[in-house]
Structure 1
Amino acid sequence: MLQTTFLDYTYDNPLMNASGVHCMTVSELDELAASQAGAFITKSATLAERAGNPEPRYADVPLGSINSMGLPNLGVDYYLDYALAYQAKEPAPLFFSVAGTSVEENLALLAKIQHSEFTGITELNLSCPNVPGKPQVAYDFPLTEEILTKVFQFFTKPLGVKLPPYFDMAHFDQMAAILNQFPLAYVNCINSIGNGLYVDPQTDTVVIRPKEGFGGIGGEYVKPTALANVRAFYTRLKPEIKVIGTGGILTGQDAYEHLLCGATMLQIGTQLQKEGPDIFQRICQELETIMEAKGYTTIADFQGKLKTVD
């Protein structure tokens, strides 16, 4: 019932982790592989290992989470070794996330993947709001176009991009016009809503250390924004560019709404952090129950078919 085709590969269901959650180490990746997730993605990798921002840099808050992680990861070679071993034994590929702290590093990371034996799906994170002093690439439209132009001069493997949330119709139009110029496999909407702030009512302090408490907001807070971005890009991008929906998926109903708005695959971040990998089985069961109640036998029966009010 939940079987999903993505880039000619078939997955048991559309659920994945969001990069950054439960994917730092080989043991965590193995737990994802053994879970009911349809697919999974690695931690966003930089060329060298990074410790990330000082702790505390993540906090659960009542309706979601706030974080300023600073791209902690074990370096691209660590994840590439895992990916190559995984693809040697599994038919459907994993997703490999890279996030350089400069244009040059992004190009070097993708060149490394291009020249490797990796045959899976690569995600370029253009939305890294948590590196101090660096703006988000995807909010600089000319720079985004420049990077993608350079990337596709040499990169021939399946590539998607992770985007931050946009909040203006003109920005949806402008970014879609850029993305439609390139042979992208997908866009991932959304990364966390940048630079929120949460106050601990008991202590009158912020809850994370980096950036004086400013951090990316995820979880229940962000679902309406995530759905809007999924829908905006689903209706603006050429059909061959798929949309992965990320943001505010806590239940099967949330997953259903992302698919209804046009997502093909779904990533779970904050709630996976709170519940662990068992969440995938629960959300699959809840999604199947909703589909049965509505008389749907496949996701294709309703995917993208959001109704508007006349």
Structure 2
Amino acid sequence: MQTHTSQGNRGAAIDQLSERDAMSAMLTSHIAALEAARSAIADISAAGALVARTVAAGGTVHYAAAGSSGLMALADACELPGTFQISPGQIRIHMAGGVPTEGVMPGSTEDDREDAARAACAVDQNDVAIVVSASGTTPYALAFAEAACARGVSVIGIANTANSALLAASDVAISLNTAPEVVEGSTRLAAGTAQKAVLNMISTQVGVLLGHVHDGLMINLNPDNIKLRQRASDIVARIACVAADDADEALRMTGYNAKLATLVAAGAGLSEAKVLLTQNRGHLRACLRDVAPKTKPNT
């Protein structure tokens, strides 16, 4: 089995280095942690496909973890409605002891297997669980994964320890072989960096597979503030090749739905745009192929 990720780095103790060398050691540790995800790309891709299928079918994505791993999971889960307009009702976060509201995370809650089993009662066979644990043996995370499996739910396990119990219990096992931490026991460092990157990769690929990314743009963003409305306008203008005023008008007509607005700006009627998106399962590129011949017959 891999050396536990929380065990101290065998090099010079970080507190015995100069400030500059200590910072360099920290950065090197984080860069190496990101590289650890490279060998798991096939499993990360499989996880993204599984989550995308679940969301498309109306299922719920359950994130479960404790401590710093829970914070990484929470950050990813909270971004999905704004970035890709995935319904908040399709996202659940199960964090040992609950989501901290005052900056305090009691350590004892990660040992509560009973609480994890109760939380897992919320999962349904049409759902998917993403369970994260640096050691792969955290009692809360492992109990949640086991309970979810018992209910017939697919489990994506992310751990920084190879051959750990969590990975063995997972349908999709993502092993991140990160090196020992520069501060022993603090898995919020390199291990947390690798976890955050992988969670980002999974959820971004979900957006791509669901058609919520077009030419690298957040075409299904939720423009609920001034900055995001301007971003939506820029996106519509770029994709539909129209002026900003036309993009703004299309957004107003469609209730600030950037996909619909793009099709309207490109020449489709509102009803036609809705039909096209339904027929093409929300993938804008296929919709635009049907609209483009009407507006640009020479292209």
**TM-score under structure 1 length normalisation:** 0.28
TM-score of the superposition, structure 2-length normalised? 0.29
More strand by share: 1
Structure with the greater alpha carbon radius of gyration = 2
**More helix by proportion, 1 or 2?**
2
